[in-house]
Structure 1
Amino acid sequence: MFRFSHGPGRGCGPRGRGRPEMDVERFFEWVERLNEGGPGRGGGRRGRMFDGGELRLVLLKLIADEPRHGYDLIRAIEEMTGGAYAPSPGVVYPTLTLLGEMGHIEEQASEGAKKRYAATDAGRIHLTERAHEVEALIARLTAIGEHRNRSDHRPIRRAMGNLRFAVKSRMIDGLEGDTLHEIAAILDEAAQRIERL
């Protein structure tokens, strides 16, 4: 069982011989490799899913359906593909900036520090002009999700996706002091209970 690293002095080191300490980011990378059958199989979350302006069209379509934050968009694509693919923030946020510069989306007032985006009239017109391409892209993502969800491991992947999203969202908001240790303790307890099954 992996122990999550959450600071010195809190009993967070390895609990058994040969059991490495693992931080949250490395843990999720490990889970992603397991979901894809291990390294060296190609594809997966870190593979290239879109070419050219395809990601722009997908993000614009999702925003036109409903105003969203950046991480809402990442989560929406991840859910559509059944957890097989999630674009990184390093790809999504520059794409949102470009869509804004193109006049296809605009920021909306929202609570907190996260920016929420809505489609402009120009963005909706652009989607109409590219409707067949947009439909094909959404169908591709949905087909990936349907294929992946046929696996017997679907409930576990769904739960792992929820966990991954929840932890990463809190990490972006900033974690300090007691909250950091509480989250690490919850993860440790879950790992221990799974190991005892």
Structure 2
Amino acid sequence: MRMNIERLRRGALRFLILDALNKKPMHAYEIMKTIEIKFNGVYKPSPGSLYPVLKSLIKEDLVKVEIIDEKKVYSLTEKGRDAWGEAKSNMKSLFSRSVNYRKLLNSLFDISLVLYTYRDILTREETFEQINSVLEDCRAKIEEILGSHNSDRS
């Protein structure tokens, strides 16, 4: 069973927004820049991905918005601070649980840095297709391995 990647991405972006706003209230552009800096320029959320998540966080009363100097400024509510603390605690627990899991994440991060380093070459359609094919094959193989172990548990 494949997980919903978009939901996973939104969950990660949700945490990154809460994390940014935990430092100080910000407008949307500041949130995007803070996240970009956190990832050393490798990842920057687009406005199209940021605003729906912000809207959801506001609806859940985790984030509030105020107009200051004619700009929307977002900040955490008390409930938002609690949610951020809980998410942070869960993240620490996840990463401290397994040295092997951290090794895998480091490998994935290293791959993302290689892709970022050669981003100009990836504009070539043939090169992009070759790399994308390798990554899709890799994902499929990982799902196959994990799926076979998951059926062992049943």
Which bracket does the TM-score occupy, shorter chain normalised? 0.5 to 0.7
Please show how residues 1-197 of structure 1 align to structure 2 within 5 Å: 51-112=9-70, 114-135=71-92, 148=113
> For the Cα contact (< 8 Å) 2:10–2:53, is it kept in 1?
no
Distance in 2, matches of 1:65 and 1:134, equals 18
Distance in 1, matches of 2:65 and 2:57, equals 11
- Matched residue count: 101
Which ranges of structure 2 fall in alignment gaps of 5 or more residues? 1-5, 96-101, 118-154
> For the Cα contact (< 8 Å) 1:58–1:134, is it kept in 2?
no
Q: % of aligned pairs identical?
A: 27
1:133, CA displacement in angstroms? 3.7
Pairwise CA RMSD: 3.4
Which ranges of structure 1 fall in alignment gaps of 5 or more residues? 1-47, 153-197
Distance in 2, matches of 1:71 and 1:144, equals 25
Determine which structure has the larger helix proportion and give its number.
2
TM score, norm. by length of structure 2: 0.53
Change (3 A) 1:77 1:144: farther
Distance in 2, matches of 1:134 and 1:70, equals 24
Residues 50-72 of structure 1 deviation map (CA, whole Å, 9 limit, x = unaligned):
53522111101111211011111
Secondary structure in 1 matching 2:68 = coil
Bigger relative CO (Cα 8 Å, ≥ 6 apart)? 1
Secondary structure in 2 matching 1:76 = helix
Select the structure of larger CA radius of gyration: 1
1:134, CA displacement in angstroms? 4.7
Distance in 2, matches of 1:81 and 1:126, equals 22
Q: Give the aligned residue type for 1:83.
A: G
TM score, norm. by length of structure 1: 0.42
Distance in 2, matches of 1:82 and 1:144, equals 12
Q: Give the aligned residue type for 1:66.
A: K
Q: Give the aligned residue type for 1:69.
A: H
